[in-house]
Chains A and B, each alone.
Chain A
């Protein structure tokens, strides 16, 4: 492997990690509260607001059903407004966040739904307010599931970030397409895929470890 190729790979890897890392954090900051909101406003839940829940649910579904490549192009005006440009790594984080936040929201909602309703009832019987139930019961109990959901999201984001290369986002996907496909340098493509495999492997292992450490449900 040439020195040049290694440099290219390292640069692209860094771009991917930065793009995915920043968008994952931002998406989690939006998606986790959104997921909590989706659950607690359901009819019969602790802050039931059926109409609000239907509207937010519909928006989330709409965002999730738009193919990423279309979403990316469709929100270019928003991207320009937020980061000043529609090209480059920073610009790529906007569609990544928009795509990942609703995904996280649904995963968080599903994890929270798994929490035994008896625990919520017990907290209510103790005189807990809805906010206390969320902070002290729902989120801590769902944390292993939320951690697993975030891991899935990061892995998906790595895949999406390759597509973001298509709008000049840079990163590993971009490198693979430009050198491997457009310049017929097959070994670059193979190297890119190998790096991606290792990256996903590392993310998944860290995520599994975190979920395992957070899970107190099994005897140890």
Chain B
């Protein structure tokens, strides 16, 4: 649906051209929700603006729905943009127009007859659940309602692609959820391709099918959201994932780890459960079979696109042989086990 081929973008600066995007190649399939995530300054906003040529690429090609955009300009480019909707972080609604007027704007640009236009606007307002706000001005709406207007406006011309530039970043968590639910619904019902720019891993986890991680103008990692979450390979990805999955050990545990000698009897490990193993009674089986005891220090289970993904940090005690057998058992079950260190028994460790 969208093919980005070896895209480069430089901005002219006082000290020569400043590369913002370097050699980006991505293929986004029809009907998928594709997330592009990165820290601020990674180039994600520039990247999404290159897709509808609000920013003209320095080099490389952009193809949307089989039409190469990077070669277009003037009227041909404007016509192509009717097929690409865009939603913005700060909504960008006209304050001088009502909700109805705002949604109607893209249709006025192509001189759609008034009757047809008003019917389409009503249809869009119903889709986003704002029929009762038709005659309100943006100043009278909440942030979430404004973004719904933004979405209705972007969809009014029935585009095949929707670009979302930090569409939820100005919204509170509750409103973010409802907007994401709306986008997911639109994605299903209209089979619309959605490209989602965000700095929040939460947003990607909620609705994206695939994700690309952007850092310093390069794609450093991409793949299915579940894989990127559970096996992040790039440090940037790992730090982004850590923010939402909360893998940090509590300070009390990590300080015990730091202060205990390597020969201490307790073994602290982090077990990662993915897919089917997340539903098995692994821990209780280990206790029964190997006579080791477990003290759970930290843990939680997340759902990424409805697949369970859990981590459990435990302090295991028992004979060395028993511990070794337990570790082997975990590996046989192909669970990921990380040994974090050794700790003395809690009563002796408190210093």
Contacts and interface: CB of A to CB of B under 8 A. Distances in A.
B54 A136 contact: no
Interface in B42-89: 52, 54, 75, 77-82, 84, 86, 88
A46 B215 CA distance: 31
B222 to A, nearest CB: 25
Given A137-B94, A140-B97, A220-B140, A122 B86 contact: yes
A126 B105 contact: yes
Interface string B150-172: 00010001000001000000000
Given A127-B81, A219-B139, A141 B109 contact: no
B95 A125 contact: no
Contact of B81 (A116, A118, A125): A125
B105 A143 contact: no
Contacts of B137: 216, 220
A122 B165 CA distance: 11
B213 to A, nearest CB: 25
A127 B108 CA distance: 11
Interface in A116-173: 116, 118-119, 121-129, 132, 136-137, 140-141, 143
Contacts of B157: 126
A218 interface: yes
Contacts of B54: 121, 124-125
Contact of B82 (A127, A132, A141, A220): A127
Contacts of A217: 95, 139
Name the prevailing secondary structure of the B interface residues.
Answer: mixed
Interface in B16-36: none
Contacts of B75: 129
Given A125-B84, A218-B139, A219-B139, A119 B92 contact: yes
Contacts of B138: 216
Interface residues of B, number: 31
A118 B88 CA distance: 8
B90 interface: yes
Contacts of B81: 124-127
Name the prevailing secondary structure of the A interface residues.
Answer: helix
Given A118-B90, A121-B54, A218-B139, A127 B109 contact: yes
B25 to A, nearest CB: 23
A141 B94 contact: yes
A126 B109 contact: yes
Interface string B100-112: 0000011011100
Contacts of A137: 94
A216 B96 contact: yes
Contacts of A121: 54, 88, 92
Of A124, A132, A220, the most chain B CB neighbours within 10 A belong to A124
Contacts of A116: 90, 92
A128 B153 CA distance: 14
Given A132-B109, A218-B139, A125 B52 contact: yes
Interface in B289-307: none
B96 A127 contact: no
B236 to A, nearest CB: 28
B150 to A, nearest CB: 8
21 contacts: A116-B90, A116-B92, A121-B54, A122-B88, A123-B105, A124-B54, A125-B52, A125-B54, A125-B84, A126-B157, A127-B82, A128-B109, A136-B108, A137-B94, A140-B94, A141-B96, A216-B137, A216-B138, A216-B139, A219-B139, A220-B140
Q: Which 3 A-B residue pairs are closest in the complex by CB-CB distance? A: A127-B81, A122-B92, A127-B78
Given A116-B92, A216-B97, A220-B140, 20 more contacts: A118-B88, A119-B93, A119-B94, A122-B92, A125-B52, A125-B81, A125-B84, A125-B163, A126-B81, A126-B82, A126-B105, A127-B110, A128-B78, A129-B109, A136-B105, A136-B108, A140-B96, A141-B95, A216-B138, A219-B139
